[in-house]
Amino acid sequence: MKETIEIILPLTADFEGFSPKVYKCPAGFLTIGYGRNIEANPLTETEKKLLRAEGLINEKIAKDWLRENLQKCYEELAQNFNWFAKTDRVRKAALVDFDYNVGLGTLKTFKNTLLFLEQEDYKRAAENMRLSKWFKQVKRRGVRICNMIESGNI
C-alpha cells in the first residue's frame, strides 16, 4: 500500500490544490487542505485541535491528512473489490485517486468500468471512464488517471 500511496500522493495534491482555510469546492461541499471534503469526512477532535485559532492549516498537516485519506481509499477499494489486490500499483494508485475524488458511492456507479477492470481490460475501462460526466468535469485529472489505468504507467 505504501508504494501506491507514494505514487499518487503528489498527483492528488497537484490535482486538488492546497487551501489553508475552508472553502466550497465546485460541487458545493465544505473543503480544506488538499480537497478534504469535511462534510463527507468530518475533522476528528484531534484534527480540529491542529487548526490554528483563525481556522487555518499548514501544508504539512494537509499533506498528512491527504496521506491518511488516500490510505483509507486504498483500504476501501481492497475491501470492496476482490480484483483490486492483483492490480498493479500504478493502476491501484489511479483508482485510489479516483475514489478520493468521487467517493466510493459514485465509484460503484461506474459498473462497466469496474467490470472491465475486473477482467483486466484496461483499455476499455479507460475508454469507458473517458465517456463519463466525471471525465468532462475534471479535465487534466481525468486524462492522467485514464492514461494510468490504460497504460499502467505514471
Query: Using one digit for the tens of pLDDT, what is the confidence trace for 28-64?
Result: 999 999 999 999 999 999 888 888 777 899 999 999 9
pLDDT reported for residue 26: 85
The answer to whether residue 10 scores a pLDDT higher than 90 is yes
DSSP state, 92?
A: H
pLDDT reported for residue 113: 98
Query: Using one digit for the tens of pLDDT, what is the confidence trace for 99-153?
Result: 999 999 999 999 999 999 999 999 999 999 999 999 999 999 999 999 999 999 9
Long-range contacts of 117-122 (CB under 8 A, 24+ apart): 117/81, 117/83, 117/87, 117/91, 117/149, 118/81, 118/83, 120/83, 122/91, 122/149, 122/150, 122/151, 122/152
pLDDT reported for residue 102: 94
Hey, what CATH class is 2-151 in?
mainly alpha
Query: Using one digit for the tens of pLDDT, what is the confidence trace for 60-77?
Result: 999 999 999 999 999 999
pLDDT reported for residue 127: 98
The CA radius of gyration of the chain, in Å to the nearest whole number, is: 16
CA distance 36 to 30: 8
